[in-house]
Structure 1
Amino acid sequence: MGMNENLSKPLDRLSAELAGDMDQVNALIRERMASRHAPRIPEVTAHLVEAGGKRLRPLLVLAAARLCGYSGANHVLLAAAVEFIHTATLLHDDVVDESRQRRGRPTANLLWDNKTSVLVGDYLFARSFQLMADTDSMRVMRILANASATIAEGEVLQLTAAQDISTSEETYIQIVRGKTAALFSAATEAGSVIAGADEAVQRALFDYGDALGIAFQIVDDLLDYGGMSSTIGKNIGDDFRERKLTLPVIKAIAAAGPDERAFWERTIGHGRQDEGDLETALSLLKRHDALKAARADAIDWAARAKAALGPAPDHPLRAILSDLADYVVSRIS
């Protein structure tokens, strides 16, 4: 399982289509991440923001707004706000997960410390709400505020479900809908709202972002068990070592016999992992076709994302967004 480089990359096409707007977003991000009194804030923020991320979430804001015919400047404020929320959650997640690598680089909590990562994350959340307020739109403020609460709720749910090998696929989707899909759907919905799109289009773009985010996270979980470390920006098997119950593992546990279930209880439930356990886990995932089944789920969610675009305006960006859903799942082959 690895990257499929033979397909055209819709994300690159989206970036090219929105390059002018994205330049404004990047300039605004650099301006608002500054701090006159605490120089460590821009140091830490720049470490993540300038790390070569694709800026997918702010691009979704810009794309939704332009798709709906928007010609103002508030979509730039919203795109920067969404990127700050995303960066803040990454800083907090790396502390919670005790991560050491992000996007192929050492994490901020490793380079500085946990206190710095948490407090800079808090600062970015505050900056994001300042940007939302600058739009003077109570509706988009409510959308992004609700998304921020949903993200935190999803993370707490993941903590409570972590290492519980009885966790169901339904709970997994609920976690993913919170920690990942909530910001995707908020990005696309907010872009349509700021453009004044009708309710049917707003709902369609919300549904698109929700399904795209779920597909995106399932693929990320799959890549952890079969991607290349240079591609996914972390070490293969990190989710296993961190005892995360991702969809492939949940599917394998559901099909497990008593001995296999005891293996998952020891390694994931109790965290007693020995040399060779990752290889055993991979063997069990293969035995029960868990990776194939999870991939099929990702493809299904991508198809839902494409179908959701039906009510959206006829625009070149709609085709790119549709192709983006296909590309998300083409990363696994």
Structure 2
Amino acid sequence: MSKLDEIKKPIEQELEAFEEKFKSSMKSTVPLLDRITHYIVKRKGKQIRPMFVFFSASLCGGINESTHRGAALVELLHTATLVHDDVVDNSYERRGFFSVNALWKNKIAVLVGDYLLATGLLLSIDHDDFHLLRIVSSAVKLMSEGELLQIEKARRLDISEEIYYEVIRQKTASLIASCCACGAASAGADVETIEKMRLFGEKIGMAFQIKDDLFDFGTDDVGKPLGIDIKEKKMTLPLIYSLSKVDKKEKQRIINLVKNHNEDNAKVEEVISFVRNNGGLAYAEIQMHRYQDEAFQVLHTFPDHTARTALEQLVRFTTERKK
């Protein structure tokens, strides 16, 4: 049994029921659409987002039908953004499989993303879950703003550490924050408690993204090609910190490699070595654990509970995972 399977055991039945409801929520009368959504569901991830929803609800009053709809809403909107992201990034692979746009081209992929988005909105409206819809819609808005901010800054490669944190707060942390807030809201928690859970999720989302950025420099044997972010001209924390530690000439040299030689594997490896040799990985690890500790501080304002323990384990999994 994997570490993640152990963590999800207390809500295993809830997750199984959620999977069925999630699948049925995507059904349509169009055979092509059903084939594509079936393909998407078969290649789903680790259920980390639904787990945050369910454990947060359990901590704040208990899991109910509204919690299941909240988890489905988050997954539908998240899946829609992934489908659209692959089009934007010209990416033909997702979790080791062909992306939707690789198999069915961009036009169909965009329409599928739109369909998933609309399905999530209707799921909430049909059950009067307007409080959940507001939480998740705010996250999607932030994710779009974060993506555009990153694109804008990538043109000049002038992202400071502060801007980097703002980008990942919007792009990644906002979604995990919405999972925790949705869970609390679905359980009938008050405004203060919902905000506390949202903040907890945001801190975890920050740590999660920094961990993801570390993978790009080969801190673990994850079977993932190194330097993907560099090839996409993304300025992540290890690189940003390392550039701040060298003189102007060396900084410009490395930026030039990222900007103009990002397709050359030897040059990408040179950038990776530069980051490793200038303390970028160690610094990013410290910042990741700082956000994790801040998340625990928020979580420990709640009374001891099996769900609180499960959330602690889930937090550790996000920062200790191998891929």
Q: Which residue identity lines up with residue 99 of structure 2 in the other structure?
A: T
Correspondence 1:265 to 2:285: no
Q: Which residue identity lines up with residue 41 of structure 1 in the other structure?
A: L
Q: Which residue identity lines up with residue 181 of structure 2 in the other structure?
A: E
Change (3 A) 1:316 1:272: closer
Change (3 A) 1:331 1:259: farther
Return the match for 2:235 from 240, 245, 250: 245
CA contact (8 A) 2:220 2:322 kept: no
SS in 2 for 1:35: coil
> What is the count of residue pairs matched by the alignment?
323
Matched residue, 2:14: 21
Matched residue, 2:152: 160
CA contact (8 A) 2:52 2:176 kept: yes
SS in 2 for 1:22: helix
CA contact (8 A) 1:68 1:313 kept: no
CA contact (8 A) 1:140 1:194 kept: yes
CA contact (8 A) 2:77 2:116 kept: yes
Q: How does 1:302-321 map to 2 (within 5 A)?
A: 302-321=292-311
Q: Which residue identity lines up with residue 326 of structure 1 in the other structure?
A: R
Matched residue, 2:290: 300
Q: Which residue identity lines up with residue 93 of structure 1 in the other structure?
A: D
Matched residues in 1 for 2:213 and 2:149: separation?
A: 17
Deviation readout 1:245-294 (Å, 9 max, x if unpaired): 11111112222334432333323334554341122011110121101101
Q: Which residue identity lines up with residue 129 of structure 2 in the other structure?
A: S
Q: TM-score, normalised by structure 2?
A: 0.93
Matched residues in 2 for 1:207 and 1:270: separation?
A: 39
Change (3 A) 1:291 1:227: closer
CA contact (8 A) 2:238 2:280 kept: yes
Q: How does 1:211-230 map to 2 (within 5 A)?
A: 211-227=203-219
CA contact (8 A) 1:165 1:250 kept: no
Q: Identity of paired residues, percent?
A: 34
Return the match for 2:110 from 109, 115, 118: 118
Q: Which residue identity lines up with residue 192 of structure 2 in the other structure?
A: A
Q: Which residue identity lines up with residue 148 of structure 2 in the other structure?
A: V
Displacement after TM superposition at 1:135 (Å): 3.6
Q: Which residue identity lines up with residue 25 of structure 2 in the other structure?
A: R
SS in 1 for 2:158: coil
Identify the range of structure 1 (176-185 vs 99-108) with the bigger mean alpha-carbon deviation: 99-108
Correspondence 1:284 to 2:274: yes
Matched residues in 1 for 2:183 and 2:71: separation?
A: 8
Correspondence 1:209 to 2:204: no
Matched residues in 2 for 1:32 and 1:114: separation?
A: 23
Matched residues in 1 for 2:32 and 2:234: separation?
A: 31
Displacement after TM superposition at 1:176 (Å): 0.7
Unaligned runs of 5+ in 2: none
Hey, which of these two has a bigger chunk of helix by percent?
2
Matched residues in 2 for 1:46 and 1:169: separation?
A: 40
Q: Which has the higher contact order (CA 8 A, sep 6+)?
A: 1
Displacement after TM superposition at 1:304 (Å): 1.1
Superposed CA RMSD in Å reads 2.1
Matched residue, 1:74: 66
CA contact (8 A) 1:181 1:214 kept: yes
Correspondence 1:36 to 2:26: no
